[in-house]
Amino acid sequence: MIEKYKREAASDVVYNLEYNSERQRLIIPEYGRHLQKLIDQATAIEDDETRNKAAKYIIQVMGSLNPHLRDVPDFQHKLWDQLFIMSDFKLNVESPYPIPSRDVLQLKPEILQYPQNFPKYRFYGNNIKYMIDVANKWEEGEMKNALVMVIANHMKKSFLSWNKDTVKDDVIFEHLYELSGGKINLLHSTEELLNTTDLMRTNKRMSNKTASGAQPKAQNNKNNNKGGQKKNFQKNNNQK
């Protein structure tokens, strides 16, 4: 037996404690140090048959930690991969799955390219620009005209959320013309957008959604008697 795992006298245990700072780093800490020691012992076994039996036993122990996934084929593959990783790829056993390599484990994923949008009018947001691009692709007709008016009203509401002051429809039409690349022209249109007061009221209602969860106002507990004074209870002497 390895000298490290021999039973020690009770009086010597205190002087031979293992501190985490002196122990070997756990490759997969979720399984704990006891399982790591089992894998280290299995790696040191010289007999091939005994080493294969030890590896299968360790797989069963690892699966018992997740009994609801123990019999899933993909999960078994994951356990075998973790077994080789925890052995630092030194365990030489027969695996029912391809043995992973250190190079594959150290591969880094490709850098994910995030969309970089720098709109000129940032208070409108990117969704407005997407809606305008969709409207440009539609054929002329009532449906497109209705969509354009919805976009223009939403632009006005977004503008008022950023600037609490009033805004003229001509400004919205100019921005719409610019963002659409000149394909949507309402500069000489007689259409009118929603009233600023109504849009401001809508913005205020949307920003106060949590008001419904507030405590109700205190009710007036005054009695109906004159002066609002509390009426004292009077005993009825006629009752027996």
Domain boundaries along the sequence of the chain: 21-106, 122-201
The answer to whether 95 and 102 have CB atoms below 8 angstroms apart is: no
Q: Does residue 89 have a pLDDT over 70? A: yes
The answer to whether 176 and 152 have CB atoms below 8 angstroms apart is: yes
Average pLDDT over the chain, rounded to whole? Answer: 79
Taking residue 101's Cβ as centre, other Cβ atoms within 10 Å add up to 11
Euclidean distance between CA atoms 226 and 19, whole angstroms:
81
Tokens of 151: 């976009």
Euclidean distance between CA atoms 148 and 180, whole angstroms:
11
Is the pLDDT higher at 93 or at 215? Answer: 93
The answer to whether 168 and 138 have CB atoms below 8 angstroms apart is: no
In this prediction, residue 151 carries a pLDDT of 92
In this prediction, residue 127 carries a pLDDT of 86
Euclidean distance between CA atoms 172 and 210, whole angstroms:
30
The pLDDT-based confidence of 210 (bands split at 50, 70, 90) is: very low
The pLDDT-based confidence of 7 (bands split at 50, 70, 90) is: low
Q: Does residue 90 have a pLDDT over 70? A: yes
Sign of CA dihedral 48, 51, 57, 63: negative
In this prediction, residue 189 carries a pLDDT of 82
In this prediction, residue 63 carries a pLDDT of 86
Convert the pLDDT of each residue in 186-201 to its tens digit: 888 888 888 877 777 7
In this prediction, residue 193 carries a pLDDT of 86
